[in-house]
């Protein structure tokens, strides 16, 4: 019984010591930890912003290329339609001459 009481008292004293140690945490260390966390978060969001800017530039370049290709294809289509119309006119003239 006596040994059991001693063990209980030691555990109680140990818990009390741990509780007191937790209470005596320096406020500067808490603030420094918060500052470090804020710095890490700032770096994260800064890098995220840089990545997004790179993606935006790449998308703008792709858009310019696609726009240029579209105008080129529209021009080519217009030329092909004109050529088709001319060939159709020549074909009708040839048919008229043969008939």
Per-residue pLDDT of 45-89, as tens digits, reads: 999 999 999 999 999 999 999 999 999 999 999 999 999 999 999
Full residue range of the structural domain in which residue 38 is found: 2-98
- pLDDT value at position 22? 61
CA 28 to chain centre: 35
How long a stretch of residues is the chain?
A: 99
Coil, helix or strand at residue 29: helix
Copy the structure tokens of residue 18.
């741990």
Mark out the alpha helices in the chain (DSSP H runs). Answer: 2-23, 27-98
- pLDDT value at position 20? 66
> How many domains are there within the chain?
1
- What's the pTM? 0.55
């Amino acid at each position: 019984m006596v040994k059991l009481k001693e063990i209980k008292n030691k555990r109680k004293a140990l818990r009390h010591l741990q509780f007191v140690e937790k209470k005596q945490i320096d406020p500067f260390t808490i603030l420094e930890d918060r500052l470090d966390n804020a710095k890490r978060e700032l770096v994260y969001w800064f890098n995220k912003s840089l990545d997004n800017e790179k993606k935006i530039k790449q998308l703008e370049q792709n858009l310019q290329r696609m726009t240029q290709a579209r105008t080129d294809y529209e021009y080519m289509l217009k030329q092909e339609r004109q050529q088709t119309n001319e060939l159709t006119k020549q074909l009708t003239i040839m048919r008229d001459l043969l008939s």
